């Protein structure tokens, strides 16, 4: 009896193995992209499309007999020309962005204001289409307005002005201290320049040298991004950074172009005081 049962189980196991092997062979035939994988080279129409079933005899192997000829190369459609003025709630055009910034920069105040590099005039942060006023939402002839935000590093103030793009007038203006919107790319670049010019930038240069074998001599050799440093989110704020929030402070993330990351998250740049401080 034992010998009969043993022979029966052996047949069951052998049958299961054959079934699995057969399934694997079938999968190897029907799955796209597997045919010719061991050859290492794929040519003709199969290259780039994934190898399919073999072409029937008498047909061209480079042509899909069932789907017709392969599509031609992709082409980039030309964007339609942008007008000088948008309509309704369309995004601001390039011309409107430039005009809004010019209208918002009133000459008397501009002379006393400073940007992130210390040059005359405030630092442009952002320009956005302003919301329509009550009663203008469904009016197709309603004027388009732009809200322009600047930062004055001379007084550490956020300046917001709303300009009417139809009349060219500044309809409202406000200045606030202790308000820190997201950083502009120009501010982030200046922060990186300050890091590289400081003693704390030695570690960044060493990491770059270790990773590439080359010297880091310019901010152009790094990809960078970041945003405003907000001290109220930190457990222990070093003394040089207690004014961040009143001052304009940023934290960066950096990496080698097309390469590895360089950790600069522990370096906080006070753009108002133009200092670099290590945290953590």
Residue-averaged pLDDT of the chain: 80
Name the helix (H) or strand (E) containing 190: helix 185-197
Asked if 120 and 139 count as a contact pair (C-beta separation under 8 A), the reply is: no
What is the percent of the chain where pLDDT is above 90? Answer: 60
- For residue 202, the 8-state DSSP code is H
Q: Contact 144/85 with Cβ under 8 angstroms?
A: yes
Torsions phi, psi of 149, nearest 5? -115, 130
Which residue do the tokens 């790094």 mark?
222
- The pLDDT assigned to 189 comes to 98
| pTM, two decimal places | 0.69
Separation between Cα atoms, residue 272 and residue 280, nearest integer Å: 22
User: How many CB atoms sit inside 10 A of residue 130's CB?
Assistant: 20
pLDDT (average), residues 255-280: 96
Rounded to 5 degrees, φ, ψ at 98 are -65, -45
User: Which pairs count as long-range contacts for 169-178, CB under 8 Å and 24+ apart, including other chains?
Assistant: 169/103, 170/103, 170/104, 170/106, 171/145, 177/246, 178/245, 178/246
* Candidate ranges 31-40, 63-72, 204-213; pick with highest mean pLDDT: 204-213
Return the exposure string of 142-163: e unless at least 16 CB atoms fall within 10 Å of the residue's CB, then b: eebbbbbbbbbbeebbbbbbbb
- Phi-psi region for residue 191, left (φ > 0), alpha (ψ -120 to 50) or beta? alpha
Q: At what angle do helices 202-212 and 185-197 cross, to 10 degrees?
A: 90
Contact present, 213 and 260 (Cβ < 8 Å): no
DSSP state at residue 113: -
Q: Exposed, middle or buried: residue 135 (CB in 10 Å: 0-12, 13-18, 19+)? A: exposed
pLDDT tens-place string over residues 151-182: 999 999 999 999 999 999 999 999 999 999 99
CA distances to 34, 47, 114, 137, 245 from 40, in Å: 11, 11, 62, 63, 59
Mean pLDDT within 68-82? 74
Q: Mean per-residue pLDDT for 269-273?
A: 98
pLDDT tens by residue, 94-141: 999 999 999 999 777 788 999 999 999 999 999 999 998 888 888 878
> Can you give the pLDDT at residue 102?
94
């Amino acid at each position: 009896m034992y010998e009969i049962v043993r022979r029966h189980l052996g047949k069951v196991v052998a049958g299961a193995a054959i079934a699995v092997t057969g399934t694997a062979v079938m999968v190897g035939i029907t799955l796209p992209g597997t045919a010719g994988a061991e050859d290492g080279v794929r040519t003709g129409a199969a290259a780039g499309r994934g190898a399919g079933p073999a072409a029937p005899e008498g047909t061209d192997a480079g042509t899909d007999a069932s789907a017709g000829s392969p599509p031609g190369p992709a082409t980039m459609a030309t964007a339609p020309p942008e007008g000088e003025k948008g309509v309704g709630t369309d995004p601001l055009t390039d011309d409107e962005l430039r005009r809004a910034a010019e209208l918002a920069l009133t000459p008397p105040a501009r002379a006393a204001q400073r940007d992130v590099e210390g040059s005359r005039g405030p630092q442009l942060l952002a320009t956005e289409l302003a919301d329509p006023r009550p009663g203008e939402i469904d009016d197709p002839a309603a004027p388009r307005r732009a809200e322009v935000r600047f930062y004055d590093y001379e007084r550490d103030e956020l300046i917001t002005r709303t300009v009417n793009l139809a009349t060219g007038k500044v309809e409202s203006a406000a200045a606030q201290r202790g308000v820190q919107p997201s950083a502009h790319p120009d501010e982030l670049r200046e922060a990186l320049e300050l890091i590289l010019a400081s003693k704390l930038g030695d570690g960044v240069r060493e990491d770059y040298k270790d990773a590439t074998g080359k010297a880091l001599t310019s901010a152009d050799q790094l990809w960078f991004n970041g945003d405003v440093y907000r001290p109220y989110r930190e457990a222990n704020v070093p003394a040089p950074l207690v004014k961040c929030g009143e001052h304009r402070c940023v934290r960066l993330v950096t990496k080698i172009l097309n390469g590895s990351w360089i950790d600069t998250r522990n370096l906080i740049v006070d753009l108002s005081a133009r200092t670099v401080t290590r945290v953590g």
